[in-house]
């Protein structure tokens, strides 16, 4: 029975990919490679370039990981290696509760608090408002932090205690045993946690939609310039979460362009999940 349900789930995923690809074919035929890297999105002119949205999604998610990964792994090391059992359980339960908070709540907190703080923090750079790619990235960092922390904690706790004891018996200090034994052994699980966090960051919609500014055609000339990050932008998810999805339904080409955004998002999150599972299996095979 379990094999049947697994096969059904796989067939459903394959069918989903096929449906999205089939419905997006008109825009691929119309735009070609421009659809992936084009600078302009004007649906009234049948011009569909997703470069700015891809840039926004990658910038927001990668900055979120840059902020969340060191904190999450550091917290996981502290809880798994230094806290006693009951205190660790209390902290872990609290963090997992944070992971279950609805994204719209994080988005409302972003509107009420974070965007004003970001506007004041970036005041020397004269931003137009607090709605920006950087604001969305900071909010996403808070959202993916519980995922990275709790899964990294599980990976560290999966390292056998006898390996730590052997390291201590050889004269290593507690910190040296953590960095020389526990972290290298848990590395595949930690990488899997980071990849799953990246998948969530890529797929998050409501919270990003509320604070990113939703400004089209913001692909910068210099992709490594920090200035565009302080301005309003657009991501794949914020575009799909807006009203344009409803507008597109009556126009075949426009609808294909919107479904194409969903297809790209599905591919990106699917790849991050597959990579995470691969790293996790690698950890289990070396355990």
CATH number reported for the structural domain that contains residue 107 in this entry: 1.10.3720.10
CA distances from 178 to 81, 85, 194 (A): 7, 17, 19
Give 151's Cβ-side CA count (13 Å radius): 23
Number of domains in the chain: 1
Most distant pair of Cα atoms in the chain: their distance:
72
Q: How many CB atoms lie within 10 A of CB 108?
A: 15
Q: Closest Cα to residue 43, out of 268, 217, 218? A: 217
C-beta separation of 262 from 178 below 8 A: no
| 40 occurs within a structural domain | no
Q: Which residue has the higher pLDDT, 232 or 177?
A: 232
Query: Alpha-carbon distance 22 to 233, whole Å?
Result: 29
229-260 pLDDT, tens digit each:
999 999 999 999 988 999 998 899 999 999 99
Q: What's the domain range around 204?
A: 48-286
- Mean of pLDDT values over 85-101: 85
Q: Is the confidence at residue 156, as pLDDT, over 80?
A: yes
| 237 occurs within a structural domain | yes
CA distances from 236 to 136, 183, 216 (A): 13, 35, 11
Q: Any idea which residue has 């290696």 for tokens?
A: 81
| 249 occurs within a structural domain | yes
């Amino acid at each position: 029975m379990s094999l049947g349900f697994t096969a059904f789930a796989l067939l459903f995923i394959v069918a989903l990919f096929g449906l999205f690809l089939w419905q997006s074919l008109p825009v691929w035929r119309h735009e070609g490679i421009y659809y992936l890297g084009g600078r302009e999105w004007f649906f009234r002119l049948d011009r569909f370039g997703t470069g700015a949205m891809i840039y926004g999604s990658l910038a927001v998610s990668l900055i979120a990981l840059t902020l969340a990964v060191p904190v999450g792994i550091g917290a996981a090391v502290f809880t798994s290696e230094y806290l006693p059992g009951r205190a660790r359980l209390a902290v872990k339960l609290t963090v997992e509760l944070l992971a279950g908070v609805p994204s719209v709540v994080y988005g409302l907190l972003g509107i009420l608090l974070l965007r004003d703080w970001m506007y004041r923090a970036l005041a020397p750079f004269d931003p137009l408002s607090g709605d920006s790619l950087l604001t969305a990235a900071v909010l996403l960092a808070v959202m993916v932090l519980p995922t990275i922390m709790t899964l990294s904690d599980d990976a560290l706790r999966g390292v056998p205690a006898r390996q730590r004891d052997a390291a201590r018996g050889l004269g290593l200090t507690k910190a040296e045993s953590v960095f020389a034994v526990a972290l290298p052994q848990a590395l595949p699980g930690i990488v899997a946690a980071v990849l799953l966090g990246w998948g969530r960051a890529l797929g998050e919609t409501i919270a990003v939609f509320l604070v990113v500014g939703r400004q089209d055609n913001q692909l910068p000339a210099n992709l490594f310039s920090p200035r565009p990050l302080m301005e309003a932008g657009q991501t794949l998810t914020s575009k799909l979460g807006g009203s344009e999805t409803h507008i597109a339904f009556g126009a075949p080409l426009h609808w294909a362009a919107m479904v194409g955004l969903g297809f790209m998002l599905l591919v990106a999150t699917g790849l991050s999940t597959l990579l995470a599972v691969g790293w996790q299996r690698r950890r289990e095979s070396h355990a």
